[in-house]
Structure 1
């Protein structure tokens, strides 16, 4: 019988991808582990590398980390890395995996491959415009080109987590973001007590177009709409999930052109979601049913919110059900891991 490979996921855990995929790989009979850097959002992982403390603690924790990662290098057969980060600083370890018969998968999650020049040149609204100056963008783009060239030389498989990054890594394959559906029970919308409760949870306000959302909400309030906005920032992942359940409508980013983990989680819980979707990206998304989002950008966010506020509770509940079904078919971790196992088997 062929022995299943041992699989390493790390060292970042954005969107809890490392932790969730490793957990579900174990359910499929693989020996898999997620080893990640410390996470202020307390996302699920198997091993969180120690850090901080006084000088002695920093030295001992750094030494332990290097020894442990050295052990992982020899103990695992497939290394699924994220965000251009490998076991060694500067990726000097990349040539060694192939020399020892190991396989490397690199999954890109966003700003690790999204280039400033292309984004600003092609799109009126893009999140990178609010995160970097043009001068910083030039430097970042050069770094991305240099790193991708190195990774293409040594990495066995390139993945992107969303179709909005496919244009930056043209030889990549899409692996949809995954969530653990067991952690997201479908919850009916809260009772309507005379006002709509909206929620927006930016990890970076510029990245999400928060200022445009706040302006649209204030304009609607001035016009007499009974709405409350829960602006959620700097909370743990568990607190975030709790806050989803208290709102009627979730508003994610409106400048990026695609949806991320927050939108998926909100849909899974049963919250109609407003997010920016760029039609040109659909050609890179050949899976699942029609997208169940309310599409908005800074030009249209006021009108879209006004339209959504005009829906009946029954219409909103129908939208919530469609969102849940979409997540179950595309982003359920068990569905994503089946695709991932196929990718591993092809290596």
Structure 2
């Protein structure tokens, strides 16, 4: 396995840093791991004061920019406006002027020229997102990794809108990074599922430093506290500002009068005094010790004669998947652990059996856990094997981190074989299915999506639809990919007016000797005038809003240009080929491994009919609902469910329970809903144009064909005839295996790429020139219109000023 060495790595945090507290300990230890593996880390953060500062710890530079929020009173509400927004001062350190901070940090990074940016925690994530946009303008495109120490998605369950927005923002940003790191395997699985990530995040444990694991203290804690060996001593090494954890320490002492607990901390001042005051009120101050260790790197050796490490969490759902760092201190100090129960801690202790867990907040059971640990200390210590210490040693973790860096850098460079990038929309999951099938066929194939998608279709990376982000994406991608397969749109696209720089990414890619494949699937290429002539059940005439998104004049102009610059053009079905006759048909695709055959014979007495419209008027939903109502009035027994507003994964689960799926009744061909349903062996009803039926050959279509006039009868027949549903479902599955299996379709696309190499369409200079002339005229007209508006406004303004001056003179 390759490892990264000698790389410049910037660790980015929004935390306030100072000489007394140079950086978050976990972040500092990550930087130490990077240095341990032979790389060159620098930590960038924000100073606690108004002036920039720089420090160094263990040979790692820590650079702090001036803090724009310095001096604000965080104890009261602030009325000061930042970027025209009034903020609660208690939260101002999270939200204040990210753009200004990011811009300054980007300036520093341009001087450093890092190969890798490693952001930390949510604040670092947002700063990195903004700073990277600035870097891309300067053609600096480092790899971006992010460490997520807290599972903040848990905050979404609360009633705080601020917290929910915080979580949504994190979800968007996490899908922009090149790699994600969390501190344990269970959290990695949770992140993958919760955020629909393209791959499971990597794991780097939140360890103490290498020096701490080896440094020997001259004095041990019991001796320092003048305790006897038989005195039962617990140690707490966590943050004293974690109120929930400190509360657990005091409750533990209150319920276990034989225990003494030492809080190991470098903190002094009012936090410590508050803890002592609370301990005094609880009646446990005499058995509580506040201990300042001789040196922070000697803590592990210093505590090694205690009886166990006590590791409560900060409490709440945010701690649900945490493994407190104290657990790793216990391993290297060869001490048993008593830790608050989280799913991750429970799994670790179940495997290695060197401690006990307790449910935080339920303290009466804690006494039994303490008694078990004190009585069986030797057994627990024996389970802390050399192999366990090695697994969680900084040296091993440093190598793992270097491998993650190397793999991330590798993903950003071409590896000598054909490389394809699919984008820039979710497109019903097609890009993901094709790219995964192509990977199995031995080519590099990735997906990218702009601004995500409402159904949570997966992508390798999601970027904002901004000029800076697109510019950076293209700068990165042009060095890696041979083929750019765009589904229905270019990266730069103003759909209604085609204003500059619409489409210029396609021309630039061809100029860079890359192949551009355009793939069309729907309304973007369906000319409304042609559709009205070809389709008896035209929806476009029922309201101008139905065609406003794709005005035909702009459609035809854009299509002529894209055909003029694309290496090859393909469409998803015969209906789309109507509008682009010279395009090759390459069918929609799904991964059949994810769509097992189920069949259309209901296990209940009443068959279930589903309809899942993405656009009601286009799908003919009014006709569906009307027919359902009339069939129920006839006394026909069946269930009906409308699927709307669901994520794709939830919708698929609903499809599995159905017998009959209704796709669309107005377009003239079947879509992804039909493909997914047919793959599961469901009976599908869909409208197919008569002039296109010959494409199915002698066997005919694998679904029930119906239009708004015949739909009710077709639905009635399928509801009543269970055997017909089953036979139609089996035919549909066989058809999908032949035509829509992602492996089959991936090969068809690869044949298209081969044709690009042999006989790519040349750039149509006339079409490009015509498009550029249009954009130039459009720009001149917009400037002229704006000038006229300005002059008109200036005239009105001057007239008003003159009128007011005249009135003032008259009143004088």
Partner of 2:139: none
1:250-292: CA deviation from partner (whole Å, max 9, x where unpaired): 1110111100000000011111000001121245x47895311
Alignment size in residue pairs: 334
Q: List aligned pairs for 1:80-91, cutoff 5 A.
A: 80-86=485-491, 90-91=502-503
Conserved in 2, the CA contact under 8 Å of 1:289 and 1:326? no
How far apart, CA to CA, are the structure 2 residues paired with 1:134 and 1:234? 20
1:90 aligns to what SS in structure 2?
Answer: coil
Partner of 2:482: 77
Conserved in 2, the CA contact under 8 Å of 1:35 and 1:46? yes
2:750 aligns to what SS in structure 1?
Answer: helix
1:282-309: CA deviation from partner (whole Å, max 9, x where unpaired): 45x4789531111111111111112212
Partner of 2:565: 154
Conserved in 1, the CA contact under 8 Å of 2:423 and 2:447? yes
Partner of 2:611: 200
Report whether the alignment pairs 1:39 with 2:449. Answer: no
Report whether the alignment pairs 1:95 with 2:507. Answer: yes
Q: List aligned pairs for 1:1-347, cutoff 5 A.
A: 4-37=417-450, 38-50=452-464, 63-64=468-469, 66-86=471-491, 90-129=502-541, 132=544, 136=548, 140-189=551-600, 191-282=602-693, 285=695, 290-311=700-721, 313-347=722-756
Instruction: Please report the TM-score for the alignment, with normalisation by the length of structure 2.
Output: 0.39
Unaligned runs of 5+ in 1: 52-60
Larger RCO (CA under 8 A, 6+ residues apart): 1
Shift of 1:247: 1.2
Give the direction of change, closer, same or farther, for the CA distance of 1:287–1:295 in structure 2 (3 Å limit): closer
Conserved in 1, the CA contact under 8 Å of 2:490 and 2:505? no
Shift of 1:109: 1.1
Give the direction of change, closer, same or farther, for the CA distance of 1:287–1:191 in structure 2 (3 Å limit): closer
1:202-231: CA deviation from partner (whole Å, max 9, x where unpaired): 011011000000000100000000122110
Give the direction of change, closer, same or farther, for the CA distance of 1:198–1:325 in structure 2 (3 Å limit): same
Give the direction of change, closer, same or farther, for the CA distance of 1:235–1:334 in structure 2 (3 Å limit): same
Shift of 1:129: 4.1
How far apart, CA to CA, are the structure 2 residues paired with 1:135 and 1:272? 31
1:103-131: CA deviation from partner (whole Å, max 9, x where unpaired): 11000010110011111133211344457
Partner of 2:256: none
How far apart, CA to CA, are the structure 1 residues paired with 2:696 and 2:679? 21
Q: Post-superposition, which runs of at least 4 consecutive aligned residues in structure 1 deviate over 6 A? A: none
Conserved in 1, the CA contact under 8 Å of 2:599 and 2:659? no
Partner of 1:55: none
Conserved in 2, the CA contact under 8 Å of 1:17 and 1:177? yes
2:653 aligns to what SS in structure 1?
Answer: helix
2:479 aligns to what SS in structure 1?
Answer: helix
Conserved in 1, the CA contact under 8 Å of 2:422 and 2:448? yes
2:435 aligns to what SS in structure 1?
Answer: helix
Partner of 1:57: none
Shift of 1:170: 1.6
Conserved in 1, the CA contact under 8 Å of 2:535 and 2:668? no
Shift of 1:234: 0.8
How far apart, CA to CA, are the structure 2 residues paired with 1:214 and 1:340? 39
Conserved in 1, the CA contact under 8 Å of 2:540 and 2:547? no
Shift of 1:153: 1.4
Max Rg structure? 2
Instruction: Please report the TM-score for the alignment, with normalisation by the length of structure 1.
Output: 0.90
Unaligned runs of 5+ in 2: 1-415, 494-500, 757-812
How far apart, CA to CA, are the structure 1 residues paired with 2:696 and 2:717? 29
1:294-335: CA deviation from partner (whole Å, max 9, x where unpaired): 111111111111221221x33322221111111000000001
Conserved in 2, the CA contact under 8 Å of 1:287 and 1:330? no
Conserved in 2, the CA contact under 8 Å of 1:163 and 1:282? no
Partner of 1:58: none
RMSD: 2.3
Shift of 1:65: 5.1
